[in-house]
Amino acid sequence: MKQNILVIGGTGKTGKRIVKLLNDQGHSVRVGSRSGRPAFDWHNPEGWSEVLDGIQSVYITYQPDLAVPGALEAIEELVKQARNAKVEKLVLLSGKGEREAQLCEQVVIHSGLKHTIIRANWFNQNFSENFLLEPILQRFVALPFAEVKIPFVDVNDIAEVAVKALTEEEHNGEIYELTGSEALTFEEAVAEIAKVSGREIQFTGISVSAYINALRAQGIREDFLWLIEYLFTEVLGNPSNAEITDDIEKVLHRKPVRFQEFAEKEASTGVWSAEFVPTT
């Protein structure tokens, strides 16, 4: 059955992939973004009712992260307006191992609406579409917790699971924790990227404080620095986040995308081939 589906964050890493998959299936998709028509802005709840009008299911991803101050209140207000708009189902992208994110999950779980919670944390695409791309192009990556094993998950797998959750009843009430099928350290991941891209990339482990100070020296905003520090200390430092689950296989009936597969595919696009050019 074709649905009217709102994808909040529909231009982001997971959202844009979900939009494409839903469009390919013939659903009517509304992109929830500040550039959308009607526009969706997390800081302008007065405009949400128009965006939610006529929508049956909603995919929710909160920017920059459910852990930041104000996220819980925003999710509470969104759920309230979704109920008023007669939305039937919510699918929330949450953070695996994030206590604050789990508070937001509870709002969705107790909303009285059909729901699915999807938990994930470190994406493969952080190396190709996010904050780790620039250091790779500079051929020098310095990160904290260098010894920690991380079951990086591919954003395409997350998108496929989300589409299943949005369109199939059997996922109602489920909490899925999505991981890859293997755990790698940052150093091992960078080494794999160096191998498939043919680049020499140096890696070094540093302390969290040194990393934050280096980002601060680059002019990174303090609110983003807070989030990065939180993700490294509270999330990456949580031993439970090294655990590998079979939830992707359970939902998609196939193995998750391996990091090597991701790296080979991205290398073929040339994303890591360019030389770093500093902005002026």
Q: Are 123 and 152 in contact (CB under 8 A)?
A: yes
d(CA 93, CA 158): 9
pLDDT mean across residues, the chain: 94
Which value, in Å, is the radius of gyration of the alpha carbons in the chain?
A: 19
Domains, the chain, in order of start with CATH, read: 4-121+155-179+243-257 (3.40.50.720)
Per-position DSSP letters for 248-262, written without gaps between them = HHHHHSSPPPPHHHH
Neighbours of 218 (CB within 10 A): 9
276 pLDDT band, cuts 50/70/90, is low
Question: What pLDDT does 191 receive?
Answer: 98
Residue pLDDT, tens place only, 7-35: 999 999 999 999 999 999 999 999 999 99
Residue pLDDT, tens place only, 134-155: 999 999 999 999 999 999 999 9
**Which tokens hold the place of 200?**
């020499």
pLDDT at 118 over 90: yes
pLDDT at 205 over 90: yes
- Please give the single-letter amino acid code of residue 153: V
d(CA 137, CA 129): 12
d(CA 222, CA 148): 25
Q: Are 127 and 133 in contact (CB under 8 A)?
A: yes
Question: What pLDDT does 233 receive?
Answer: 86
Question: What pLDDT does 280 receive?
Answer: 44
Q: Are 205 and 142 in contact (CB under 8 A)?
A: yes
132 pLDDT band, cuts 50/70/90, is very high
- If you average pLDDT over each of 157-166, 237-246, 266-275, which comes out highest? 157-166
Question: What pLDDT does 220 receive?
Answer: 87
Q: Are 51 and 40 in contact (CB under 8 A)?
A: yes
Question: What pLDDT does 278 receive?
Answer: 54
Calculate the alpha carbon distances from 160 to 7, 85, 150, 163, 245 in Å. Answer: 13, 26, 21, 5, 16
